[in-house]
Structure 1
């Protein structure tokens, strides 16, 4: 039987301990299942081990990153025989190092949750950007807490989503109430049947279409893009897209949606070469595609024309 491992990360005082404690107290989560809690960073919230023991939770404090390895996890499993493991990870430790670790059987990574304090987010992004990104890059859920009226939730979202498309982002107010991110103000007319994108608007359109594909169902869109082709794509398909600075100069990724040509012209599919610039007019349909892990925007080309390389090759998300 597989033993699920839950990783909770975030910087000191981001709310990790509070989240773990509330989770352990939740009857729907506890269900009398023996849990091993590995605490790699002791924050301002202290654990009541006697209370946790009543919930069948064993607590082990890990002070040194060097000792936090496969052999240590194996010893912990053999000693405590947990039915699941929750790790409160140290915010200054590299999350990728843990994810590269080969978990001993029968441990299996189940979920990664990142806690972010909205009031200190920008400060950490300015000073510890690479560590911050490694925390939410592979997360299944990102909880942005302590949000108030001054919190720019959309700006936070624009730094997370380009790096981690699958992450669910939850916003919580200072008093713990879940809030939404607010309505995105778009630089183009979402109500139009035909949207003609400016080069600088591609990044925002990509994010919005990724999160709201049904809003673009049946619409026609025109934009300048770079061609990306590979044999992995269905026959007659390619990805028109742009290189985007997802969060910093060292983290640049190619972003775009699958496009099926259906013999659109005047430039044919066999004339398209990687890194060639084109102007594409296509209809958006919402379809299943395995690379999306579900349904998402699929473009059907109506017109493909040669285009000049733009002065600014990179796109941004603001």
Structure 2
């Protein structure tokens, strides 16, 4: 990365906390030490930059209010004028961040991290009503910051929605005092300490996300859940995949959330049929992905009525 200008791209909707996060980061002594920083602000919210304090940190702020202004030529002009070693881009939540990354960003600028801020208080509104923009923000993100969390914040709901779009994204939670909060088993919609856990239909997505990330927490537990037969597993004897589809953006854009199961009746199961399974979780090493995975050893199979809405939700 010699002679490269590091670019940190911040996405998120208006009033999601981008300005505060960027300013706090830049004013951190360790972050701005021996750096020449440029902030490219493309959205005007309630919070304003303290330009006097930023100047002392060797940081300039440039404001842009029209997406068409952001062109390679314009960015080249900024590079020549300010000679930054790092750039913080506060991108407008209604603009296409993928275009910036893949078409507008110039050499020697290099996007090294995409960060998305989400206001926990308005998460439901934006996720349900502005899904395409939300998808654009999250699918590119390396780090998602959920801020303004309180005791009513359903962390696993938010996490499930984000992970279904971008499994690799790191997620952190901040309370209203800007303190980091950890997600715990207490945030799950069921009791993880119980030896027998019945997964409700509405909690299936949250369950799948958690068991894939923390299979050890479910080892030797008995589970009961409803989903569809997806098909036979290609490796395990008597193995099959059991799951449901999560809608990413529209009904044509889905992602399977499934669980590998084992039953001597596997070859008699019909793809797409709905079943209720009951069995015990074992955690085993999968050579193909070089990781531990949960496997449900099925004790009981019952036919089940299809759900009215067969897509996974995280509410």
Tell me: CA distance 1:166–1:303, structure 2 relative to 1, closer, same or farther (3 Å): same
- Measure, in 1, the Cα distance between the counterparts of 2:125 and 2:265: 50
Q: How many angstroms apart in 2 are the aligned matches of 1:220 and 1:122?
A: 32
Q: 2:314 aligns with which of 295, 314, 317?
A: 317
2:209 equivalent among 204, 207, 210: 207
TM-score, reference length from structure 2: 0.76
SS of the equivalent of 2:78 reads helix
Alpha-carbon distance between aligned partners in 2 of 1:289 and 1:39, rounded to the nearest angstrom: 46
Partner of 1:191: 194
**Alignment-derived partner of residue 146 in structure 1:** 148
2:160, 2:205 within 8 Å by CA — same for their partners in 1? no
For structure 1, the residue ranges without an aligned partner over 5 or more in a row are none
* Gap change, CA 1:105 and 1:205, over 3 Å in 2: same
SS in 1 for 2:144: strand
3-state SS of 1:101 partner? helix
Could you tell me how far apart the structure 2 residues matched to 1:304 and 1:100 are?
A: 50
Q: Aligned equivalents of 2:59 and 2:293: distance in 1?
A: 44
Aligned counterpart in structure 2 of residue 26 of structure 1, from 4, 23, 28: 28
Q: Aligned-pair distance for 1:243?
A: 0.9
Distance change in 2, residues 1:234/1:42 (3 Å):
farther
Aligned to 1:76: 78
Question: SS of the counterpart of 2:145?
Answer: strand
- Gaps in structure 2 of 5+ consecutive residues: none
Say if 1:75 and 1:296 are closer, same or farther in 2 by CA, change over 3 A.
Answer: farther
Aligned length: 307
Equivalent of 1:133 in 121, 135, 147: 135
Q: Cα offset for 1:218?
A: 4.8
Query: Deviation of residue 59 (structure 1)?
Result: 2.5
Using the alignment, how far apart are the partners of 2:292 and 2:39 within structure 1? 38
Bigger shift: residues 109-118 or 14-23: 109-118
Change (3 A) 1:48 1:212: same
Secondary structure of 1:205's partner?
helix
> Cα distance 1:314–1:76, how it changes in 2: closer, same or farther (>3 A)?
same
CA–CA distance in structure 2, aligned partners of residues 228 and 279 of structure 1? 16
Q: TM-score if structure 1 supplies the norm length?
A: 0.76
Partner Cα separation in structure 2 for residue 302 and residue 121 of structure 1? 37
In structure 1, C-alpha distance between the alignment counterparts of 2:254 and 2:312, rounded to whole Å: 10
